[in-house]
């Protein structure tokens, strides 16, 4: 009897123990996310401007480090680097002026956005004035002004075709379509003396619903709002003076004059109220094409004449730029939860912390979510949970100056990341609006992303569905003709801190954000990089209850949880093969004639694509037949192959003319083609007639890039083969 009781007791204890062990940690993690706490994090993060390299920037880094320590992470440390940064002179802000025949300034652009009395934090004097980071300082003048639309190559070509040369003239471009650095570089290469970049109402007010509600009464931009930003001409180098290597105290530093990234002509940025004062005085025989016209109430002319005596005594445009470049210390913060089973495998979550000003949208909506995720995980650790793999959280610095923090860190630790990182999940701006999810991902992570989105409830009632997945799919289908379409997930283009992970070392990435409906041509949201990215903006107009911040935290954490806990990594190799096959199809469909006319065979590439597709299918069959009795060694063997597949696409020599973009499938081409980047550029350069003898050297480049991409796809196929048989 006594023995029986003991047994019974043991059984009950056993059951209890089993009950405890079966806590659904994934559910708990999701339920733990608290909108009120996210709001409080955001309020603290946005109290002061915290530009990289400033005292306030450092204080906020220390706040993040201390918070992670207090939340119970195993460790939290700073990773500092000394890099070249750029600042305005708050006492003598840069400006654009109009001057009369006696060189007297008759108009000066506003030194900054007026304070608006709605948000105590936004009302402080230390707001960073609008400036063009890394612009050289100096005064330039011209009596000639040319409007170059968005400043794309095609825009400069059109101006030239209208008989206007920008040499020794001032140019004015609107924001949008192409990066600041590229607009400026094109003006510089064509001999312009300086450049003005402004936000046109078409981009920051638009023609849509609610456009009359401008900050502080709404989400749209008043004419006084100015987008700040850096004007480096970057192709994946990171910090301008130590390309390729981490900026440590022993690192050799280039001369500024050696850096191809730093601009040599001055540039300044203004809002549309000031732009109007300038644009209305433009002369020139031709009014622009319709597609060039913005929404200013003036006739848009190409130029280059300037001055309308009836309207103003102004005769010249003057640019007076007072921007400094200084070496200062930036601080990434790295927090770690050690893995219990595979401590040497890292799942990395990252977001930048530095902002041009208060950063309540870019980037600290993301930082607030990250701090809530670490808080929730800290709580779980107190209850005895520990992930299978190591979780790493990184708060980057100096993203706004050119992604310096993440580049320097990858330059220092790239080898380790290449060996050990399972994936990097980036969130920059978590919530700029709440219409739909915008996702970028390496192909192998798409299925994981979709699965995670199915588990996140949509926080409002809508006919579009009750999970993030269903609303996302409904509102942003990959194929709008197909009612059963998947949601749209783009490849990792564009720019945030995921770039060095995927393009330098081949770590799979995702980049996630809640965004607005793209019915109008906003390149970004209207108040992007202005002084009005305030807590008030988030709290009043974007996400008053922080429900969508909660949604983003749940999604980000859910993805990280799967990557850290799943025995076999949720990396889908067949999805990758499908993407590579599509790129091959685009190549054949769009450029097949050229290959035929020059008798260049696509057989090797086709064979590599087929081999990769077959290897992926066979690999998945083997995985499926493993059943439940995977020994840790066997699981690790398959997981290593899953990780190595992405690295196989890395060419240490880089793609042509951009040695720091090393991913042969996922780097940006110079031309936007939907095929392999380097080969896509090579075939674009061929134009229509490939047989033209003058194109012989371009044709050699096509052959070269074709062989290179064939090799790397076959390499990826090899990584998936059975180690002992297929390859050797
Ligand atoms: C340019 O601005 C600086 C600082 O505001 C000022 O000292 C200087 O006189 C200005 N230069 C000209 C040519 O107006
Ligand atoms: C420029 O200076 C001359 C000589 O002082 C004067 O006559 C003229 O009115 C001035 N122009 C303007 C626009 O003030
Ligand atoms: C904001 O600044 C203005 C002018 O400096 C001042 O009058 C106002 O009281 C301030 N508002 C708040 C909420 O601090
Ligand atoms: C601009 O208009 C001109 C004629 O007015 C036309 O030849 C040209 O193709 C147009 N360009 C664009 C980009 O629309
Ligand atoms: C594809 O695999 C076949 C069979 O192993 C091999 O003969 C062929 O060379 C491979 N293709 C490439 C481009 O390496
Ligand atoms: C694997 O385990 C699950 C439950 O954990 C069970 O339903 C399934 O039948 C098992 N499969 C095999 C092949 O043993
Ligand atoms: Zn950002």
Quick one: pLDDT at residue 13?
A: 42
The pLDDT confidence band at residue 495, using thresholds 50, 70 and 90, is confident
Q: How far apart are CA 511 and CA 516, in angstroms?
A: 16
Residue labelled with tokens 């059963």: 484
Question: Could you give the angle at which helices 25-32 and 364-382 cross, rounded to 10 degrees?
Answer: 130
- Whole-angstrom CA distances from 571 to 449, 619, 642, 723 are 10, 12, 6, 19
Looking at residue 118, its pLDDT comes to 82
Q: Counting every residue, how long is the chain?
A: 728
Residue range 53-64: mean pLDDT, rounded: 98
DSSP of 117-151, one letter per residue? Answer: TT-GGGG-TTPPPP-EETPPPEEEEES-EEE-TT-
Determine the Cα–Cα distance for residues 471 and 125; give it in Å rounded to an integer. Answer: 42
Statement: residue 80 has pLDDT above 80:
yes
**Matching CATH number, 573-719, of 3.40.50.2000, 1.20.930.40, 2.60.120.200, 3.40.50.1460:** 1.20.930.40
Q: Which atom belonging to ligand 6 lies closest to the Cα atom of 629? A: 14
**Architecture (CATH level 2) of domain 90-321:** 3-Layer(bba) Sandwich (3.50)
Contacts (Cβ under 8 Å, ≥6 apart) of 339: 345, 386, 387, 388, 389, 390, 391, 564
Q: Which residues line ligand 4 (CB under 6 A)?
A: 158, 289, 291
Residue 493: pLDDT band with limits 50, 70, 90: confident
Domain ranges of the chain: 9-86+326-565, 90-321, 573-719
Which residue has the least CA distance to atom 12 on ligand 5? 608
CA–CA distance, 173 with 301 (Å, rounded to integer): 12
Question: Rounded distance, CA 594 to CA 465, Å?
Answer: 47
82 catalytic residue (yes or no): no
- Residue 206 predicted with pLDDT over 80: no
Residue 540: how many other CB atoms lie within 10 Å: 17
| 640 tagged catalytic | yes
**What's the CA gap between 41 and 690, in Å, rounded?**
58
Among the atoms of ligand 6, which is closest to the Cα of residue 628?
Answer: 1
Quick one: average pLDDT of 67-86? 98
Distance between CA 213 and CA 220 in Å, rounded? 6
Which ligand minimizes its atom distance to the CA of 498? 7
Mean pLDDT of the chain: 93
Q: Among this protein's residues, is 688 annotated catalytic?
A: no
pLDDT at 522: 59
- Please state whether 177 falls in left (phi above 0), alpha (psi between -120 and 50) or beta: left
Give pTM, 2 decimals: 0.93
How far apart CA 524 and CA 655 sit, in angstroms, is 29
Cα gap 220→89, rounded to integer Å: 28
Candidate from 9-18, 135-144, 496-505 with smallest mean pLDDT: 9-18
Domain 9-86+326-565 belongs to what architecture?
A: 3-Layer(aba) Sandwich (3.40)
Angle between helices 677-684 and 696-720 (to 10 degrees): 160
* Span 588-600, average pLDDT: 97
Say yes or no: CB of residue 289 within 6 Å of ligand 3: no
The answer to whether residue 479 is catalytic is no
Q: Which of 200, 575, 663, 667 is catalytic?
A: 663
């Amino acid at each position: 009897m006594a023995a029986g009781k003991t047994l019974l007791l043991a059984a009950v204890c056993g059951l209890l123990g089993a009950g405890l062990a079966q806590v659904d940690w994934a559910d708990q993690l999701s339920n733990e996310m608290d909108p009120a706490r996210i709001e409080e994090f955001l309020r603290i993060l946005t109290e002061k401007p915290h530009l990289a390299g400033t005292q306030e920037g450092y204080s906020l880094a220390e706040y993040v480090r201390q918070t992670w320590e207090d939340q119970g992470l195993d460790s939290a440390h700073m990773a500092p680097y000394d890099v070249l940064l750029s600042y305005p002179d708050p006492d003598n802000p840069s400006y654009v002026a109009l001057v009369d025949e006696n060189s007297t300034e008759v108009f000066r652009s506003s030194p900054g956005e007026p304070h608006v009395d709605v948000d105590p934090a936004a009302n402080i004097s230390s707001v960073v004035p609008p400036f063009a980071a890394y612009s050289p300082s100096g005064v330039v003048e011209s009596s000639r002004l040319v409007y170059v639309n968005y400043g794309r190559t095609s825009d400069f070509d059109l101006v030239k075709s209208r008989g206007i040369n920008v040499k020794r003239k001032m140019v004015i471009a609107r924001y949008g379509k192409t990066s600041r650095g590229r607009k400026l570089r094109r003006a510089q290469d064509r001999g312009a003396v300086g450049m003005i970049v402004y936000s046109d109402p078409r981009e920051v007010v638009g023609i849509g619903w609610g456009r009359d509600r401008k900050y502080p009464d709404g989400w749209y931009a008043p004419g006084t709002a100015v987008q700040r930003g850096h004007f480096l001409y970057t192709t994946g180098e990171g910090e301008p003076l130590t390309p390729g290597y981490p900026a440590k105290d022993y690192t050799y530093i280039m001369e500024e004059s050696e850096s191809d990234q730093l601009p040599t002509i001055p540039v300044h940025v203004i809002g549309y109220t000031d732009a109007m004062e300038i644009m209305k005085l433009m002369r020139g025989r031709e009014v622009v094409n319709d597609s060039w016209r913005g929404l200013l109430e003036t006739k848009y002319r190409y130029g280059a004449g300037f001055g309308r005596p009836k309207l103003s005594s102004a005769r010249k445009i003057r640019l007076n730029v007072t921007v400094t470049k200084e070496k200062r210390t930036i601080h990434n913060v790295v927090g770690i939860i050690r893995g219990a089973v595979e401590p040497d495998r890292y799942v990395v979550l990252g977001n930048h912390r530095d902002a041009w000003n208060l950063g309540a949208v870019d980037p600290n909506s993301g930082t607030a979510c990250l701090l809530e995720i670490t808080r929730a995980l800290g709580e779980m650790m107190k209850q005895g949970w520990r992930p299978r793999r190591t979780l790493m959280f990184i708060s980057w610095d100096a993203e706004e100056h050119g992604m310096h923090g993440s580049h320097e860190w990858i330059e220092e630790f790239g080898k380790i990341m290449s060996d050990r990182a399972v994936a990097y999940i980036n969130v920059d701006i978590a919530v700029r609006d709440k219409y739909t999810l915008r996702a970028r991902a390496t192909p192998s992570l798409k299925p994981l992303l979709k699965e995670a989105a199915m588990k996140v409830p949509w926080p409002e009632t809508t006919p579009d569905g009750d999970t993030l997945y269903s609303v996302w799919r409904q509102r942003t289908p990959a194929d709008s003709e197909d009612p059963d379409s998947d949601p749209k997930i783009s490849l990792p283009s564009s720019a945030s801190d995921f770039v060095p992970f995927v393009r330098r070392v081949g770590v799979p990435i995702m980049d996630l954000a809640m965004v607005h409906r793209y019915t109008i041509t906003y390149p970004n949201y209207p108040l992007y990089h202005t002084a009005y990215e305030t807590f008030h903006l988030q709290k009043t107009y974007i996400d008053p209850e922080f429900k969508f911040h909660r949604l983003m935290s749940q999604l980000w954490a859910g993805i990280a949880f799967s990557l850290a806990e799943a025995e076999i990594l949720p990396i889908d190799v067949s999805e990758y093969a499908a993407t590579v096959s599509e790129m091959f199809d685009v190549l054949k469909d769009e450029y097949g004639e050229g290959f035929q006319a020059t008798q260049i065979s696509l057989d090797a590439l086709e064979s590599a694509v087929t081999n990769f597709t077959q290897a992926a299918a066979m690999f998945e069959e083997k995985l499926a037949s493993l059943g439940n009795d995977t020994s840790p060694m066997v699981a690790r063997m398959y997981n290593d192959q899953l990780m190595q597949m992405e690295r196989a696409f890395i060419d240490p020599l880089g793609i042509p003319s951009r040695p720091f973009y090393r991913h042969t499938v996922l780097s940006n081409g110079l031309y936007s083609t939907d095929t392999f980047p380097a080969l896509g550029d090579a075939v674009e350069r061929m134009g229509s007639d490939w047989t033209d003898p003058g194109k012989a050297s371009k044709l050699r480049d096509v052959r070269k890039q074709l062989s290179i991409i064939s090799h790397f796809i076959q390499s990826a196929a090899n990584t998936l083969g059975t180690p002992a048989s297929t390859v050797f």
